Structure 1
Amino acid sequence: MKKIFFLLLLTPAVVKAQFSKGDAFLGGNVSGSYYHYAPVENQRNLNYYRNTNYSYSLSPIFGFFTSKRFALGGNIEIGRTSTTNVYGTNLNSVKSQSTDGSVALLGRYFFTFNEKFLFALTGDVFYSKSQTTNKSADGTETTDKSNSSGVHVKPTFLFFPSRRWGFEASIGSIEFVHSKTVRGQSVMGDTKNDDFKATYGAISLGLAYYFRKS
């Protein structure tokens, strides 16, 4: 494993760079995730707690190369998340629907393995706003609003069937997020949080057109 890792680090240094300073790209990503948690059932054949979460987002992205391996750019993202929490029985459930939007400045460093396959580390600094509607089984409904900012890093794999078109895929990410939530009609009150987390189930797929000078 150590030998393979060393070869992956060495390979980009011995392969001709894929891009030139002044090149640019324009494209978009579609991402989604699904999570389900259900612990061991109790003697009444009921779960103490169940959680189901799925999300998706659309994100146009652009960037320009400041060197052969590094690009600066930005993106706008619009997404939606649905969460269902069940405590004991369906009579004690809470369903949440969230809509959010964000803007980000990003940097991407490319490792070129050959003319068609590349690997990149993509990092961004973002700001986002969201609105969440929570509905209980008894019909009670509240609306929370939040804003957050943070840093997000993810691995990106790229495939170029031609010199100007590139497909990309990202799986998982690491992020630090500072958030503030204003809760509507809730006894919990407003909250502020700082979270550091790694995600493994989020998959992002994208397509981009590359404007090359040569």
Structure 2
Amino acid sequence: MKRIFLLAFLSCLSLVAFTQNLGNKFISGSLHYSSIETDMSNGSSQAFYPETTTFTFSPKVGFFVKPQWALGVGVSYGYKNEFSNQLYYYNSNSPTTTEKITHSFSLAPFTRYYLPMGTKVAFFGQATASYTTGSIKYRTTDASPAETDLNGLHVYVTPGLVFFPSSKVGIECTFGEIGYQNTKSESVHAPKSTYTTKGFTSKLGLEGLSLGVSLYIGRASTEE
């Protein structure tokens, strides 16, 4: 009896899963910019004025090799400038300035499997392997400039859901990730120093909630 019920359930699930034509490819991406300035004066001996500017651009494209299975690649560029001007009142003519500039580039091939539920909604799971390279440059009035090279690998799985308000547009929601990362930073100038960070990460649920919009090209209209 249990075997008959399981076969019936799988048959119904397969019928639901094939009620959508997701098209032949999809395109998505994200663009982020922020600039934050803070006044951190203690009112007596010193004032601290940090400024942080962040910019990221991350386009992504996927191609359907089967009705529910897509392969694709994402690229990303990131820039972050952290500047601070620390002023001591007893020596107001010689403020201490510090600047940290980070550039990063990422290449992230991925595979995604969809489980459509009706004609407007589909669950999906995505596996991604992201390789990142970049550099960090340090400048300060109290020391010589320094530079660090960055290299990292991040492999992770992401659960998500896509809702189609129209035939071509999908509003995507992901719920965090489970993965492994290994990051290595190495100073460029002497004395040489190397730091490695590695381990498993798990961030599922509302804390890792992310929203985005994708364009599904070739997806059949569901308004017929």
Q: Give the structure-1-normalised TM-score.
A: 0.66
In structure 1, C-alpha distance between the alignment counterparts of 2:181 and 2:100, rounded to whole Å:
20
Are 1:124 and 2:128 counterparts? yes
In structure 2, C-alpha distance between the alignment counterparts of 1:150 and 1:166, rounded to whole Å:
26
Amino acid in the other structure paired with 1:60: K
Pair 81,109 (structure 1): closer, same or farther in 2 beyond 3 Å: farther
Pair 137,203 (structure 1): closer, same or farther in 2 beyond 3 Å: farther
Deviations 1:82-102 (A, max 9, x none): 5689xxx9x999653322111
In structure 2, C-alpha distance between the alignment counterparts of 1:15 and 1:56, rounded to whole Å:
41
Q: Which has the larger radius of gyration?
A: 2
Unaligned stretches of 5+ in structure 2?
1-9, 35-43, 47-51, 89-94
* Alpha-carbon contact 2:158-2:177 (below 8 Å) kept: yes
In structure 2, C-alpha distance between the alignment counterparts of 1:82 and 1:153, rounded to whole Å:
30
Q: How many residues align?
A: 196
Deviations 1:1-52 (A, max 9, x none): xxxxxxxxx9x9276235459x422312216699xxxxxxxxx9x9xxxxx8
Give 2:170's aligned residue. 166
In structure 2, C-alpha distance between the alignment counterparts of 1:81 and 1:194, rounded to whole Å:
22
* Alpha-carbon contact 2:128-2:155 (below 8 Å) kept: yes
Pair 14,29 (structure 1): closer, same or farther in 2 beyond 3 Å: same
Give 1:211's aligned residue. 218
Are 1:155 and 2:154 counterparts? no
Partner of residue 179 from structure 1, selected from 166, 171, 183: 183
Q: Give the structure-2-normalised TM-score.
A: 0.63
Give 1:142's aligned residue. 146
Deviates more, 1:171-180 or 1:76-85: 76-85
In structure 2, C-alpha distance between the alignment counterparts of 1:146 and 1:13, rounded to whole Å:
45
Give 2:58's aligned residue. 58
Give 2:49's aligned residue. none
Unaligned stretches of 5+ in structure 1?
1-9, 35-43, 47-51
Tell me the SS of whatever aligns to 1:16: helix
Give 1:26's aligned residue. 26
Tell me the SS of whatever aligns to 2:70: strand
CA RMSD of aligned residues (A): 4.3
Percent identity among equivalent residues? 19
